[in-house]
Structure 1
Amino acid sequence: MTYDPASANPLAGNPLKTRADMIRAVNDLFNPLLPFFSDGNARVRLDGAGAHFDRAAADLEGFARPLWGLAPLGAGKNAFDHWHRFAEGLANGCDPAHPEYWGTVNARDQRMVELAALGFALALVPDKIWEPLDKRARDNIIAYFKHVRQFDYADNNWKFFRIFVDIALDRLGADFDRSLTRQYLEELEGFYIGDGWYRDGNIRRIDHYIPFAMHFYGLIYSKLVDDDYARRYRERAVLFAKDFRHWFAADGATIPFGRSLTYRFACAGFWSALAFADLEALPWGEVKHLCLEHLRWWQDKPITSHDGVLSIGFGYPNLLMSESYNSAGSPYWAFKAFLPLAIAEDHPFWTAEEKAPEQAPEVVPQRHPGMVVMRAGNDVVALSSGQENLQMRFGTEKYAKFAYSARYGFSVEADERAFALGAFDSALAFSDDGLHYRVRETNEEAKIAGNILYSRWSAFKDVKVETWLVPSAPWHIRVHRITTPRPLQTAEGGFAIAKRDLDADTLSAAEGSAHAIGEVDFTGIVDLGSSIKRNGLAQKALPNTNMIVSKTLVPQLRGEIPAGETVLITAALALNDPAAVSGSWTTPPKAPDIVALQKLVNENGVTVSAIEAPGHMS
């Protein structure tokens, strides 16, 4: 029997229109985990792949993460047949004398992350997982939770994890030091930038962790606790919703950007949290549509193994794009999308008729993440400058490309010693030996002026680059001014589209341009008048590098720049329309004047918030 990705995906065939559909979805996604529960139910081990933390913590992750969806399921008075597993597993995992004990925390530890889900569940459904336990088990749980609180949590969204432990301790009537709760609430305030936006810590990182972590936890807090912080979280979420909706395309796809994308439909978690918190940041019909349409986008993707267990990956199983902290249970943070199951079926989130948000302006500048978001056909593209992540694997590809697309995703490189084979989609690569290469990793300066992004960066220590990104929907333009003391080879890529088998696609390459026509997509890149000649190449990228599809084609421009100053001017286009080859492709935008761009940024440019992180070490 062959593997059928559609039938293996538990979301396939589910209309995902109603509360009943969502109840079915969370059960269908959870049930494949049942064979992997340990005898004492405290551990869920899905495969042999490892994360940087120990196996007990990974097994706890597999146990705890589904509770982000199951606790709301229980709180909403919906049937679930496996609460006994979670009650028993919680008791055994916190019992130092039990063979399935989760281990004692002695410093910053992954267990701190997973206990937040347990704290959330204890606050929401104590009747399911607390009240059935005897005094000894309860004492062990309280002792375990209180022990973990004394250690320092990471200086980012992790601070919410101790707050969720504290909420549980408070609900369970435990005695604990509440000043620590207030300390972390206050420290989290330091990550707030304004206009509803946070950083994920004092670093140049403003990604999906803002909606599916900072706002998600803040909105849950605002439902469970009534204080000034709760009111702030609600006010900020209203502001953020107006910006974040622009990250979603008409078909429900969101822009893949940043780390932890294996959490997949956790990207709907913000809309789900608005429902849970009873906060109408946008009309309920729009919040419902953004949430459910995103879930529906995942229905036909091969995101599970043949047994229905979510894989590590994004659009398909892919360890290459994973983080060092992704164990096999990591993807179940996706269950954050199921928060609305806690609210009654007569809530306006469920009773409202779905409505797509009003058509967005063609171009939306967003200063805080350093993005200019534009509509290109039915796609959403974010031009980007100002973010970085040098700590994560492929952090450069996840944060520092020039453009990110909801439809075409982005690619990670498979080999840093393969300049000739690199995808370099939405990137400019330099090589001084034809083998190794450098791309933009960090910015020395990043500004936004109206709809124009500017950045100054170094490819090598002695190679300086200035880049201007200009929307010209459905195209975008990149202008690079490069100063180098020696000749360098360059490669610049457009967007990656799906490659068919049997070389069924149409590839074209000429001096100054390249394009590819796939089954349903067109992608092209063209030189608009650079100071050197560049040759086109329709690159057959290495497999399993793109986030959304496993095999791709990327149009590129390649050439050699001399010592001194070189200006490259490029336009890139990708559309869900093969006929674009005789449409938009034939009318590329005009090359902008670099002097006028420079003047605009000098006179009107403001620094991108992301690059202003106070704790950043360059």
Structure 2
Amino acid sequence: MKYKLIFSALLICSQLTHAQKKASTGAEDRAFWVKTLNRIAYPVIHNLANETLKKNMPVEKAPGYGLNVNKVTYLEALGRTIAGVAPWLALPDDDTAEGKLRKNMRTELLKALANSVNPESPDYISYRSESQPIVDAAYVAHAFLRAPKALWEPLDEVTKKRFVEEFKSLRTRSGAYNNWLLFSGLTEGFLLSIGEQYDPARVQFSINKMKEWYVGDSWYSDGEKFSMDYYNSYVIHPMLVDLLKVLVDKKKAQKADYDLALKRMVRYSEYLERIISPEGTYPAYGRSITYRTAAFQALAQTALMEKLPEYVKPAQVRGALSKVMHNLYDGKQNFDDQGWLVLGFNGHQPEVADTYTSTGSLYMATLGFLTLGLPADNKFWTDPPAPWTSLKAWSGESIKKDYKVEY
């Protein structure tokens, strides 16, 4: 009898629909996103602003780690953190609690950026050796492209010149023959955007290879062989779209190329929305799962650009991503006692980290928060809660059939 009662209770619970469960409002979701993004980004930005990043950031390495960690991990932490916070920091100042927090982070980040390229600073970060800086210079450049008026234009002329010199120094090296091509392309694209001399060959080669590596239905092969992982979101779609936008603006590419890349990213965002389970989990497969919420960068950017497919409502993306973030960041499992991210997927799991992963690598997690760049009065935040696709599917509601696209 006891077990029948337990079974009956579980059955009743399983039959509850999302409509019967309390859903948070958009304002509550936004407050949670802001709090969580600040929790992740603050240690990096605050310490670098105070020239204590190298002193205070723990340096944990994956088993079998193969890089010169002290020459790469700090640039990883900087670039990956600011590429995710940039759209939020680009919002205008206001007198709300969020606005004051945002202004404080922006102020500290401008100090941090200056320190990072000042050879006299204990936190000077060099781009001039190793191959890994090719990657993370691109994330710094991406932040500047995403928030030029907030993060690039306010820098003093000496600091700007130093960044340009560090970026150009990367031309002495080449990286892997895969998504790395886009890193070089994007950094050169940023130089073009600010009127600096750039390398058109690196830019064009990266775009041409991405076109060649397109395999269909929004998926790009990461190099000559396809890899089933999240690199289409970590790197390929967002960087390709934003690089082409620079080129179109500078009349160096056809708008049709940009439009096609954007259509493919929009289609890919549909996949990302659909893989979020009713419980707010997603598959831990492929390389670099330690990047956590970066897996949803392409979805977050598509929402930020207000380009979601018609049937994917902004509120359902907000609900789905919020649920994922609650699962990952409500507890302390992904942070150490000082608030730094730890190696793992959902907990301290160094065994799943790749041989190029160290503490600084993990800050790509901020890329899932891009949609905070939409103001609080945007419908993404003001629309009432809405179920996402898998939640509707598993509740027996009507959903749109998914089918491949031909572009």
- 2:348 partner SS: coil
- 2:359 partner SS: coil
1:326 and 1:258 map into 2 onto residues whose CA distance is 14
Residue of structure 2 in register with 1:453 after alignment: none
Residue of structure 1 in register with 2:263 after alignment: 235
TM-score with structure 2 setting the length: 0.76
Q: What is the aligned counterpart of 1:256 among 284, 308, 311? A: 284
Q: How does 1:10-89 map to 2 (within 5 A)?
A: 17-33=28-44, 36-37=47-48, 40=51, 43=54, 46-50=57-61, 51-54=65-68, 55-77=70-92, 78=99, 79-89=102-112
2:27 and 2:182 map into 1 onto residues whose CA distance is 30
2:84 and 2:271 map into 1 onto residues whose CA distance is 26
1:359 and 1:128 map into 2 onto residues whose CA distance is 37
2:276 and 2:88 map into 1 onto residues whose CA distance is 26
1:319 and 1:376 map into 2 onto residues whose CA distance is 36
Residue of structure 2 in register with 1:322 after alignment: 353
Q: Which sits farther off after the overlay, 35-44 or 67-76? A: 35-44
1:376-396 deviation digits (Å, cap 9, x = unpaired): 99xxxxxxxxxxxxxxxxxxx
How far off is 1:98 after superposition?
5.3
RMSD: 3.2
| Matched-pair contact (CA < 8 Å) for 2:80–2:361 | yes
| Matched-pair contact (CA < 8 Å) for 2:40–2:363 | no
Structure with the higher fraction of residues in strand conformation: 1
| Matched-pair contact (CA < 8 Å) for 2:45–2:78 | no
How far off is 1:263 after superposition?
0.9
Q: State whether structure 2 residue 292 is matched by structure 1 residue 277.
A: no
| Matched-pair contact (CA < 8 Å) for 2:144–2:152 | yes
- 1:250 partner SS: coil
1:47 and 1:289 map into 2 onto residues whose CA distance is 33
What is the total number of aligned residue pairs between the two structures? 352
Q: State whether structure 2 residue 206 is matched by structure 1 residue 184.
A: yes
Residue of structure 1 in register with 2:333 after alignment: 302
Residue of structure 2 in register with 1:202 after alignment: 224
Instruction: Indicate how the Cα distance of structure 1 residues 27 and 243 shifts in structure 2: closer, same or farther if over 3 A, else same.
Output: closer
Q: What is the aligned counterpart of 1:341 among 372, 380, 387? A: 372
Q: How does 1:332-411 map to 2 (within 5 A)?
A: 332-358=363-389
1:14 and 1:316 map into 2 onto residues whose CA distance is 28
Residue of structure 1 in register with 2:8 after alignment: none
2:57 and 2:78 map into 1 onto residues whose CA distance is 10
| Matched-pair contact (CA < 8 Å) for 2:244–2:258 | yes
1:353 and 1:234 map into 2 onto residues whose CA distance is 27
- Give the residue type in structure 1 aligned to 2:179: N
| Matched-pair contact (CA < 8 Å) for 2:213–2:224 | yes
1:476-534 deviation digits (Å, cap 9, x = unpaired): xxxxxxxxxxxxxxxxxxxxxxxxxxxxxxxxxxxxxxxxxxxxxxxxxxxxxxxxxxx
Which of these two proteins has the greater Rg computed from alpha carbons?
1
How far off is 1:335 after superposition?
0.1
TM-score with structure 1 setting the length: 0.52
- 1:193 partner SS: strand
Instruction: Indicate how the Cα distance of structure 1 residues 325 and 16 shifts in structure 2: closer, same or farther if over 3 A, else same.
Output: farther
| Matched-pair contact (CA < 8 Å) for 2:49–2:109 | no
- Give the residue type in structure 2 aligned to 1:307: Q
1:285 and 1:88 map into 2 onto residues whose CA distance is 36
Residue of structure 2 in register with 1:90 after alignment: 113
Q: How does 1:542-553 map to 2 (within 5 A)?
A: none
Q: Which sits farther off after the overlay, 28-37 or 65-74? A: 28-37
Residue of structure 2 in register with 1:312 after alignment: 343
- Give the residue type in structure 2 aligned to 1:182: Q
Residue of structure 2 in register with 1:577 after alignment: none
Residue of structure 1 in register with 2:405 after alignment: none
Residue of structure 2 in register with 1:171 after alignment: 193
How far off is 1:273 after superposition?
1.1
- 1:83 partner SS: helix
1:235 and 1:202 map into 2 onto residues whose CA distance is 23
- 2:215 partner SS: strand
Q: How does 1:551-562 map to 2 (within 5 A)?
A: none
Q: How does 1:146-161 map to 2 (within 5 A)?
A: 146-149=168-171, 151-161=173-183
How far off is 1:42 after superposition?
7.0
How far off is 1:223 after superposition?
6.0
1:268 and 1:44 map into 2 onto residues whose CA distance is 31
How far off is 1:84 after superposition?
4.5
Residue of structure 2 in register with 1:290 after alignment: 320
Q: How does 1:102-117 map to 2 (within 5 A)?
A: 102-106=125-129, 109-117=131-139
- 2:103 partner SS: coil
1:510-566 deviation digits (Å, cap 9, x = unpaired): xxxxxxxxxxxxxxxxxxxxxxxxxxxxxxxxxxxxxxxxxxxxxxxxxxxxxxxxx
1:223 and 1:141 map into 2 onto residues whose CA distance is 22
2:318 and 2:246 map into 1 onto residues whose CA distance is 22
| Matched-pair contact (CA < 8 Å) for 2:233–2:294 | no
> Is there any run of 5+ residues in structure 1 with no aligned partner, and where?
1-12, 363-374, 378-618
- Give the residue type in structure 1 aligned to 2:217: D
Instruction: Indicate how the Cα distance of structure 1 residues 179 and 352 shifts in structure 2: closer, same or farther if over 3 A, else same.
Output: farther
Instruction: Indicate how the Cα distance of structure 1 residues 207 and 376 shifts in structure 2: closer, same or farther if over 3 A, else same.
Output: farther
| Matched-pair contact (CA < 8 Å) for 1:264–1:314 | yes
How far off is 1:264 after superposition?
1.1
How far off is 1:333 after superposition?
0.5
How far off is 1:32 after superposition?
3.9
Q: What is the aligned counterpart of 1:143 among 149, 165, 168? A: 165
2:224 and 2:146 map into 1 onto residues whose CA distance is 31
- 2:267 partner SS: helix
| Matched-pair contact (CA < 8 Å) for 2:291–2:362 | yes
How far off is 1:249 after superposition?
0.9
Instruction: Indicate how the Cα distance of structure 1 residues 219 and 296 shifts in structure 2: closer, same or farther if over 3 A, else same.
Output: farther
- Give the residue type in structure 2 aligned to 1:102: I
How far off is 1:222 after superposition?
6.2
- 2:72 partner SS: helix
| Matched-pair contact (CA < 8 Å) for 1:41–1:85 | no
Instruction: Indicate how the Cα distance of structure 1 residues 176 and 333 shifts in structure 2: closer, same or farther if over 3 A, else same.
Output: same
| Matched-pair contact (CA < 8 Å) for 1:41–1:86 | no
Instruction: Indicate how the Cα distance of structure 1 residues 23 and 98 shifts in structure 2: closer, same or farther if over 3 A, else same.
Output: closer
- Give the residue type in structure 1 aligned to 2:78: F
Which structure has more relative contact order (CA 8 Å, sep 6+)? It is 2
| Matched-pair contact (CA < 8 Å) for 1:22–1:338 | yes
Structure with the higher fraction of residues in helix conformation: 2
